[in-house]
Chain A
Amino acid sequence: MELDPIVLARIQFAINISVHILFPSITIALGWILLFFKLRYKKTQNEQWMNAYNFWVKIFALSFAIGIVTGVTMSFQFGTNWPGFMEKTGNISGPLLGYEVLTAFFLEATFLGVMLFGQKRVSPFVHNLATFLVAAGTTFSAFWIIALNSWMQTPAGYVMIDGVVHVTSWWEAIFNPSFLTRLAHMLLASGLTATFIVAGISAYQIMKGDPADSTRKSLNVCVVAAAVLIPLQIFVGDMSGLLVREHQPDKLAAIEAVWKTESPAGLSLIAFPNEKTRSNDFDIKIPYLGSIILTHSLDGEIKGLNEFKEHPPVAIVFWSFRIMAGVGFLMLLVSWMGTAQLMRKKEIGPKMLKAFFVMTFSGWVAVLFGWYTTEIGRQPWMIYNLITTAETAAPHGVSVMTTSLLIYCLIYAFVLISYFSALFYLANRTVKNNIALEKQGA
């Protein structure tokens, strides 16, 4: 790839969306975790639940705010970088984004104020309600944005008139073939991201000597939640695979680096796809496994890249998918071992604490690489089989695009570093406070 404005526009948008997706993928599920903490407090009147809430709500506020500003950026970049996207698909993408703003953005952003600053001004019931509405808002938000993204992958309910998309059925457009699976996949991904971050940071705090029961409680809740969510995620991921095979066979061929149609198909565990020779330079392949996983039969056919005139870049999609899936299996391993230990010994031991700490941001890694698989796997299409990415790009010059890309990169790097540093600063400060409190008590 050379340095042309379209590539630059793609890099710019990809960086923006990569940074943005990190924060909703925490807040969607963390909102519900916070509500759980509050409801436990209401039921048990155990202050520790409230302490857990009070710590994690700070991280929530931080993540939410950065999610908002990077989200605002995204809504502008649709226009600055992809004017053709709205011109050609505005009739469908406009209303979906519109409903996101109307039903989700305002709800979450407005009640966040009550959630963060209203403890003393409203009754506990209203405060719980505000917490619920914020969590519901973030989830609605995912609903609409995934509806749009999913429509871009598997468009339905439309006709093309003079190169512009017109809707024929809203129901079919929203509930397009891959929507529900994709939504479930994203919500579970958020669940895993948030539970692993809470577990990882709590593990870190305990390793630093945090004596508080609230930290143990957060850890245990999230370890168990992760252990429940991960098999569901693997199941939904498998369903996604079947849908990709049905609706986007070129993406599947790239994910599996299958250059020529195979039946029965093997599964490459590791391969180095080579676009020039149109084959894999190195390949460790398990026979039949591809057919078994992807077609749920012994000799099912997997279409090869040879059947498509254009197809997504193979190596990057192949590896992105493997990183995502690999991280997923690590999550399964760690969370199940943690849960088993919890059931046997009632407590997570030092070695498992370390494992959870190492896995703190594993959800982010999986989400990012999952997203690269699905989005880069859609190329060269913006709307699958309908409108190419190149058709929608803005006619900016290289110098403008490079400068703005640099500005974005610097700011995002700065914001991300600050976010991490604040996260660990808050964690350490809480540990210190908890140690001081225990000394006072003793």
Chain B
Amino acid sequence: MDAATILPVIFAGLMLAGVFFYIIFDGYDLGVGLLFPFMKKREDRDKMIATIDPFWDANETWIVLGIGVIFIAFPQAYGDILVALYIPTVTMLAGLILRGAAFVLRHKAQENHREMWDKLFCLGSYIATISQGVMIGLYATGLNHTPANWVFALCIGIALCFGYIILGSAWLIFKSEGHIRLFATKAIKHSIFLAFLAIVLVSMAMPYTSSIIYQKWFSMPNIIYLSPIPILCLILAFIIFKNIKFIEKDTSYKRDWVPYLLSVLIVLCTFIGFGYSMFPYIIIDKLNIWEASSAPKSLEFVLWGVVLVLPVILLYTFYVHKIFGGKIVHDREVGY
């Protein structure tokens, strides 16, 4: 295979990886924002935020890599996709700006404004999450703006809220203590049910919105090859469910990281499924990755950077998570 054939495939993989890392990282901190309405006391919300404080800026950066790979590798598709997704993109950005500003200002701003910033952090998280879901929904159905596609996309938006709440509460179990940790166990139990309900509904709606994806999944023998993906998701969810019982009973339980790891694996499964559904298209049924890709010379140049730098990024990301390993206790003296 020559460079022009293989490079777009590599970059399609990288794009998926970028978005995957974005979702597992920013997913949990968006999830924490989504959980805000269920926390009445300000100090509890402070404890929740403390768990994401050191990571927030880096988490946010992954979206730039995800979108970055599209504009580096598939400039043709980048414009088409974002032009078609103009409205949800604007609302997502509005949500992200709001919650970003709220995130830094909730501590630094005047005492009497803090309640407002908490509300805006929460509101921004909902707007951003739902918009992202709508973007995914419209993207998966080929960027056609029919009413059916929009309803489908809005459903994905709501489903994504549950998804991020799963990540967020699994994160809180991992990084917090006491009643926050217990609250998170309840949140994860509810949201797993609702998320699966949403997934079933979405699967039922699929044939009406995207026949290509439907055929890819529900024709013989594909359905047999692909069945491990949903089955694995169910098994993982079941293990989380079982695991929660131990966490609830035992305050000194040593494996609080299990739900988060398993949630990440669920996201990974859905990503493999999503990648399979899309491949080799970058815009389903319209534009494939080879038609949309940059010149091989440009991709090669970037690939050098990726090969040399991405491992370093992952290494220091891991190192920083290690520095802030274990339970994070809210302490006004530590941060700025």
Chain A residues packing against B (C-beta within 8 Å): 54, 57-58, 61-62, 64-66, 68-73, 75-76, 78-80, 82-87, 90-95, 97-99, 101-103, 105-114, 116-122, 166-167, 170, 394-396, 400, 404, 407-408, 411-412, 414-415, 418-419, 421-422, 425-426
**Given A90-B71, A98-B72, is A68 in contact with B79 using a C-beta cutoff of 8 Å?**
no
**B60 contact set on A, CB distance < 8 A:** 68-69, 72, 109
**Mask of B28-54 contacts with A, CB within 8 angstroms, 1/0:** 000000000000000000000000011
Closest CB in chain A relative to B79 CB, distance in Å: 2
By the criterion CB–CB under 8 Å, are A118 and B323 in contact?
A: yes
0/1 string, B256-296, CB within 8 A of A gives 1: 00000000000000000000000000000000000000110
B156: min CB distance to chain A, Å: 19
- Residues A90 and B317 in contact, CB atoms below 8 Å apart: no
How many A-B contacts at CB < 8 Å in the complex?
229
Give the docked Cα–Cα distance between A109 and B109 (Å). Answer: 22
CA distance A80 to B87 in the complex (A): 9
Beyond the given pairs A110-B61, A114-B54, A116-B54, 17 more chain A to chain B contacts, judged by CB atoms under 8 angstroms and listed by A's residue number, are A69-B101, A75-B64, A75-B68, A78-B78, A80-B83, A85-B79, A90-B71, A91-B295, A97-B68, A106-B61, A117-B53, A117-B334, A394-B86, A396-B86, A404-B87, A411-B98, A412-B97
B320 within 8 A of partner (CB): yes
Specify which chain B residues have a CB less than 8 angstroms from the CB of A419 in the assembled complex.
101
28 CB < 8 A contacts A-B: A75-B64, A79-B83, A80-B85, A80-B86, A82-B79, A83-B83, A85-B79, A87-B75, A95-B72, A95-B302, A98-B69, A106-B61, A113-B54, A113-B56, A113-B57, A113-B58, A113-B324, A118-B323, A120-B334, A166-B297, A167-B297, A167-B301, A395-B83, A396-B83, A404-B90, A411-B97, A421-B110, A425-B110
B221 interface residue per 8 A CB criterion: no
Main secondary structure of the interface of A (DSSP, over half): helix
Q: Are B82 and A422 in contact (CB under 8 A)?
A: no
CB of B294 within 8 A of CB of A91, answer yes
The complex places the Cα of A114 from the Cα of B55 at a distance, in Å, of 9
Question: Of A57, A70, A117, which one neighbours B54 at CB under 8 angstroms?
Answer: A117
Please, how many angstroms separate the alpha-carbon atoms of A166 and B313 in the complex? Answer: 29
Contact B61 A425 (CB under 8 A): no
Measured between beta carbons, the chain B residues less than 8 angstroms from A87 are: 75-76, 79
Q: Cβ of B79 and Cβ of A422 under 8 Å apart?
A: no
Query: Which of B's residues lie within 8 Å of A, judged by CB?
Result: 53-58, 60-61, 63-65, 67-73, 75-76, 78-83, 85-87, 89-91, 93-94, 96-98, 100-101, 103-105, 108-110, 294-295, 297-298, 301-302, 305-306, 309-310, 313, 316-317, 320, 323-324, 333-336
A80-B336 contact given A170-B301, A394-B83, A425-B110, CB 8 Å threshold? no
Chain A residue nearest in CB terms to B75: A90
Question: What CA separation (Å) do A82 and B75 show in the bound complex?
Answer: 11
Q: From residue B312, how far is it (CB to closest CB) to chain A in Å?
A: 9
Cβ contacts under 8 Å, A111 to chain B: 316, 320
A69 with B96, Cβ < 8 A, contacts A95-B72, A101-B65, A116-B53 known: yes
Q: Is the CB of B101 within 8 A of A65?
A: yes
**B64–A101 touching, CB < 8 Å:** yes
